[in-house]
């Protein structure tokens, strides 16, 4: 007969406190004298979170005859979370300006119209490096040891380099990039895991030369193709935007699986 586990009628006792919240699920386990089997049953049955609390510990006591009483205890750990952010901005190479504010030419001559292209030579557009909006932030959360299992670590691994597919921490879908996480634990203490993110704003309605209504999610990549054009007013062959491309270079992920809220 294989071992069985079911939630006990005594389960879910609680005491409300202004300083510390906690809950307990109680299980009836039958059909085994093996402590390891009892532990495995409890870990595989008890949810990793309950009513917004995280699994902190499991306990079991033998009743006799292969019967055990199991306990899964949940606590709130968010009070020790840490948050940092940095709005220093990142560097972005631009080949196109938002607007040309002034154009000057010698008397009797007309300056070629490059439609906002920056640093134009006869056959190329050099561009310029500028500070672009960027919001880097970290969150450090505490987790019970039972929560940070192999499956959860694999989730952190596969989510690294993904962009949020839904609203997350005040960022619209497409604006927040998960840069990865680092964790540490001493002995049987809780895990301390730091999550790193970077934000880049979505933009809509861009005008690039004669190209209008360009939309781009924050972590999509926009690039512009330039082509030769004869400017009859300036009697010159100029480089102008002839096409604009928005490329999807990063995948999307469900950030709720990180276990730190949204």
pLDDT score recorded for residue 199: 94
Residues 14 and 27 in one domain: yes
Residues 125 and 218 in one domain: yes
The two most distant CA atoms of the chain are separated, in Å, by: 105
| DSSP type of residue 220 | S
Residue of 198, 201, 202 lying closest to 162 (CA atoms) = 198
Q: Which percentage of the chain shows pLDDT scores above 90?
A: 49
- Residue after which a domain boundary falls, among 76, 99, 116: 76
Question: What is the CB neighbour count within 10 angstroms for residue 239?
Answer: 21
Counting runs of H as helices and runs of E as strands, what totals does the chain give? 2, 17
pLDDT score recorded for residue 30: 94
Residues 101 and 185 in one domain: yes
Question: What is the CB neighbour count within 10 angstroms for residue 255?
Answer: 25
Residues 58 and 107 in one domain: no
Domain span at residue 8? 4-76
- How is 102-148 classified by DSSP, letter by letter? -----TT------TTBSSB-SS-B--EEEEE--EEEEEEEEE-TTTS
Average pLDDT value for residue range 81-106: 79
Average pLDDT value for residue range 126-148: 85
pTM attached to this predicted model: 0.64
| Look-up of token digits 């400017």 | 231
pLDDT score recorded for residue 217: 96
Which token pair is 185?
């634990």
Residues 48 and 152 in one domain: no
Residues 103 and 50 in one domain: no
Backbone angles phi, psi at 116, to 5 degrees: 90, -5
- Residue after which a domain boundary falls, among 76, 91, 123: 76
Residues 111 and 184 in one domain: yes
Residue 89, pLDDT above cutoff 60 = yes
Residues 62 and 98 in one domain: no
| Least confident span in 57-66, 125-134, 219-228, 241-250 | 125-134
Segment of 55-59, 77-81, 200-204 carrying the highest mean pLDDT: 200-204
Residues 154 and 26 in one domain: no
- Could you tell me the strand order of the sheet in which 67-75 lies? 4-7, 22-30, 67-75, 53-64, 49-50
- Residue after which a domain boundary falls, among 76, 91, 112: 76
Residue 241, pLDDT above cutoff 80 = yes
pLDDT score recorded for residue 7: 94
Cα–Cα dist 131/90, whole Å: 6
Q: Structurally, how many domains does the chain consist of?
A: 2
- The burial class, CB within 10 Å (0-12 / 13-18 / 19+), for 196 is middle
Residues 85 and 71 in one domain: no
Confidence tier at 134 by pLDDT (50, 70, 90): confident
3-state secondary structure of 38: helix
14 or 158, which is more confident: 158
Residue 206, pLDDT above cutoff 90 = yes
Cα–Cα dist 252/163, whole Å: 5
Backbone angles phi, psi at 191, to 5 degrees: -80, 140
Residues 110 and 19 in one domain: no
pLDDT score recorded for residue 21: 67
pLDDT score recorded for residue 19: 54
Residue 131, pLDDT above cutoff 80 = no
Could you report the per-residue pLDDT of 161-199, keeping only the tens digit for each? 999 999 999 999 999 999 999 999 877 778 899 999 999
Residue 154, pLDDT above cutoff 60 = yes
Residues 186 and 105 in one domain: yes
């Amino acid at each position: 007969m294989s071992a069985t586990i079911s939630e006990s009628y005594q389960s879910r006792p609680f005491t409300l406190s202004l300083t510390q919240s906690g809950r307990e699920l109680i299980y009836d386990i039958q059909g085994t004298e093996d402590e390891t089997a009892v532990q495995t049953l409890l870990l595989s049955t008890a949810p990793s979170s309950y009513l917004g609390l995280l699994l902190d510990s499991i306990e079991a006591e033998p009743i006799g005859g292969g019967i055990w009483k199991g306990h899964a205890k949940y606590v709130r750990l968010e009070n020790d979370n840490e948050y940092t952010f940095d709005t220093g901005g990142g560097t972005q190479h631009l080949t196109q300006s938002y607007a040309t504010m002034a154009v000057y030419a010698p008397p009797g001559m007309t300056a070629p119209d490059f439609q906002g292209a920056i640093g134009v030579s006869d056959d190329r557009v050099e561009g310029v490096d500028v500070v672009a909006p960027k919001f880097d932030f970290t969150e450090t959360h505490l987790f019970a040891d039972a929560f940070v299992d192999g499956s959860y670590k694999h989730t952190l691994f596969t989510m690294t380099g993904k962009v949020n597919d839904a609203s997350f921490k005040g960022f619209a879908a497409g604006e927040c990039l998960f840069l990865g996480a680092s964790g540490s634990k001493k002995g049987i203490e809780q895990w301390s895991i730091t999550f790193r993110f970077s934000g880049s704003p979505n933009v809509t309605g861009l005008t690039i030369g004669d190209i209008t209504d360009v939309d781009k999610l924050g972590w999509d990549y926009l690039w512009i193709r330039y082509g030769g054009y004869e400017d009859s007013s300036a009697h010159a062959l100029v480089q102008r935007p002839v096409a604009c491309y928005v490329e999807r270079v990063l995948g999307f992920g469900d950030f709720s699986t990180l276990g730190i809220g949204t």
